[in-house]
């Protein structure tokens, strides 16, 4: 007589293992596609970002009309924010490359600000770990932010290529580190 609980666990285990294999193969294929067409990848990511913004903006607009618990002022602000977000999404769809460059520049500015903060924390000694760690991290962050500001296209290209390589490597490692196959009785 077979144990139904044991059979269920074995089937679940096999399903998870199969999902891991499929995910790894898809990761390898997507990584190769990104390496072959990095420019198209940037455009597609900008389009997906634009679609996400449009959906988020529409939700905010609907909430502005339906959220009775909010004050009138908050509903107006939510509605205006929704319209702004929808417009930003449309701009992403119309100008995907410019959107990617803008996002890169925004990240560069954020890294510079974060790096300055880390430097201040490290120099002031108000850190949990060793003082040198936030100082080094802050210097790297500021330098990386400046590079992104002056070379956003190179930064985007580098990010795309490194991400594709990482996706391929992680996917291959996942295939080699799968748990052993068990038989389903």
Residue 98 pLDDT > 80? yes
Dist. CA 99–CA 83, nearest whole Å = 18
Domain count, the chain: 1
Sign of the CA dihedral running 104, 107, 113, 116: negative
Q: Would 79 be classed as within a structural domain?
A: yes
**pLDDT tens readout for residues 2-55:** 566 667 887 888 888 899 999 999 999 999 999 999 989 999 999 999 999 999
DSSP 8-class letter at 62 = H
Long-range CB contacts (within 8 A, 24+) of 100-103: 100/42, 100/43, 100/45, 100/46, 100/156, 101/152, 101/153, 101/156, 103/49
Q: Would 84 be classed as within a structural domain?
A: yes
Q: Which two tokens stand for residue 110?
A: 């954020």
Q: Would 59 be classed as within a structural domain?
A: yes
**Dihedral-angle region of residue 137 (phi above 0 means left; psi in -120 to 50 means alpha; beta otherwise):** alpha
Q: Would 49 be classed as within a structural domain?
A: yes
- Give residues with Cβ within 8 angstroms of 173, minimum separation 6: none
Q: How many CB atoms lie within 10 A of CB 172?
A: 14
Domain range for 64 is 40-94
Q: Would 1 be classed as within a structural domain?
A: no
DSSP 8-class letter at 180 = P
Q: What is the pTM of this model?
A: 0.67
Q: Would 127 be classed as within a structural domain?
A: no
**pLDDT tens readout for residues 103-149:** 899 999 999 999 999 999 999 988 788 889 999 999 999 999 999 99
Q: How many CB atoms lie within 10 A of CB 13?
A: 14
């Amino acid at each position: 007589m077979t144990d139904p609980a044991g059979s269920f666990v074995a089937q679940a285990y096999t399903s998870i293992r199969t999902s891991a294999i499929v995910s790894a193969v898809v990761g390898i294929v997507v990584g190769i596609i990104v390496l072959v067409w990095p420019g198209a990848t940037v455009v597609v990511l900008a389009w997906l970002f634009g679609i996400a913004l449009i959906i988020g903006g529409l939700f905010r607009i609907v909430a502005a009309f339906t959220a009775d618990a909010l004050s009138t002022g908050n509903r107006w602000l939510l509605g205006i924010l929704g319209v702004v977000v929808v417009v930003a999404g449309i701009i992403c769809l119309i100008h995907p490359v410019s959107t990617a460059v803008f996002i890169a520049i925004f990240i560069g500015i954020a890294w510079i600000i974060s790096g300055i903060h880390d430097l201040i924390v490290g120099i002031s000694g108000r850190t949990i770990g060793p003082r040198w760690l936030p100082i080094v991290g802050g210097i790297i962050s500021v330098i990386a932010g400046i590079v992104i500001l002056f070379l956003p296209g190179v930064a985007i290209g580098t990010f795309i290529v490194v991400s594709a390589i990482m996706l391929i490597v992680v996917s291959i490692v996942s295939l080699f580190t799968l748990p052993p196959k068990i038989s389903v009785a």
